[in-house]
Amino acid sequence: MPELPEVQTTVSGIAPYLVGQTVHELTFFRENLRYPLDTNWINKVSDKTIVSVYRRAKLIVMQLQNGVGDGSDNAEDNADDNADDNAGYLVWHLGMSGSLRIVDGTTPKKKHDHVALVVSRSADSNPNQSTVIRFHDPRRFGYLKYYDTAAAFYADIAHWGVEPLDDVFDGAYLYAKTRQKKQSIKNTIMDQSIVVGVGNIYACEALFMAGIAPHRGANRISLVRYERLAQTIKAVLLAAIEQGGTTLRDFVNAEANPGYFQQKLLVYGRHHQRCHVCHSLILSRQLGGRNSFYCPVCQT
């Protein structure tokens, strides 16, 4: 499943092709993905300019506006301006196997291409000279939503926690949020109401780097150890973004290239292999319905 680094990699890949461009066409090749696709969205996005492309948790957000955008990639900072009646938001979730890929107007449609967003780059709107973003999703668990206003979009995600790469996310924040949490620390850092976007792979890796057992109760961890954990969560996510994400099954970035962080995984997927630090066997146990990989010696 694409996690935060994969989503950020996709955003970084598609943004240069989209920001400041006008939507020429939105096409649906089926009636639904995880949720129904509303054909009314087609007219709502047509001829609008994409003024920013950014990530919120595991969502890819395209902010639209009437008229020509300024090409700024910092428009997320201004996205709370709910007074803009011309604003609109196309919001994508990659689901289990989704990807947004950049192609041109002559590229044949693939079997599992379900949505196409066309932005015109030629003066005569020649479709063969257009940039096309195709949403490809074999399992169809991803989705696309459209919001007319910033208020509608942000109301839908108001219950979400902080971003793990923001300054507000630190050891003190985690410590304060977990005093009454008896559930495992791994499930806690994957709880979107506390912090968004920390998926299974990176939770396992960060906990190993912090020396914390994934099954330890969240309320039984000290402030000092939480400070270390917040640092390792940031470090592992930033390292994965730099490497282009983690390829386990289906993920490719916007240019159809795989991620390479999998080569650096320390515990995830390494059940009964030797720990790189102490050479003990890596173990696995179910937590919250997911396999959790850890070293029983390095993590306590």
In sequence order, which ranges of 79-149 are alpha helices (DSSP H)? none
Mark whether 290 is an active-site residue: yes
The residue annotated as part of the active site, out of 2, 5, 164, 214, is 2
The residue annotated as part of the active site, out of 44, 109, 140, 290, is 290
Query: Average pLDDT, stretch 157-180?
Result: 97
pLDDT digits (tens, 9 = 90+) for 248-283: 444 444 555 544 445 578 999 999 999 999 999 999
pTM of the model: 0.85
What CATH fold (topology level) applies to the domain 171-294?
A: Helicase, Ruva Protein; domain 3 (1.10.8)
- 276 among annotated binding-site residues: no
Concatenating the DSSP letter of every residue in 194-259 gives TBSS--HHHHHHHHHHHT--TTSBGGG--HHHHHHHHHHHHHHHHHHHHHT---SSS---TTSPPP
Per-residue model confidence (pLDDT) at position 128: 62
The residue annotated as part of the active site, out of 48, 55, 56, 58, is 58
Mark whether 270 is an active-site residue: no
Domain with CATH 3.20.190.10 in the chain: 4-156
Per-residue model confidence (pLDDT) at position 106: 85
CATH of domain 4-156: 3.20.190.10
Which residue matches tokens 């208020």? 151
Q: Would you say 114 and 30 are in contact if contact means Cβ atoms under 8 Å apart?
A: yes
Concatenating the DSSP letter of every residue in 15-65 gives HHHHTTPBEEEEEESSSBSSSBPPTHHHHHHTT-EEEEEEEETTEEEEEEE
Which residue matches tokens 């066997």? 281
pLDDT digits (tens, 9 = 90+) for 219-252: 999 999 999 999 999 999 999 898 875 544 444 4
Domain with CATH 1.10.8.50 in the chain: 171-294
Strand partners, 59: 56, 93
| 74 pLDDT higher than 90 | no
Question: Which of 80-94, 110-124, 150-164, 178-192 has the lowest average pLDDT?
Answer: 80-94
Q: Fill in the amino acid letter for 155.
A: A
- Structure confidence at residue 133 as a pLDDT band (50, 70, 90): very high
Per-residue model confidence (pLDDT) at position 120: 66
Which residue matches tokens 């379900």? 114
- 159 among annotated binding-site residues: no
Task: Compare 122 and 193 and report the one with higher pLDDT.
Answer: 193
Mark whether 2 is an active-site residue: yes
- 181 among annotated binding-site residues: yes
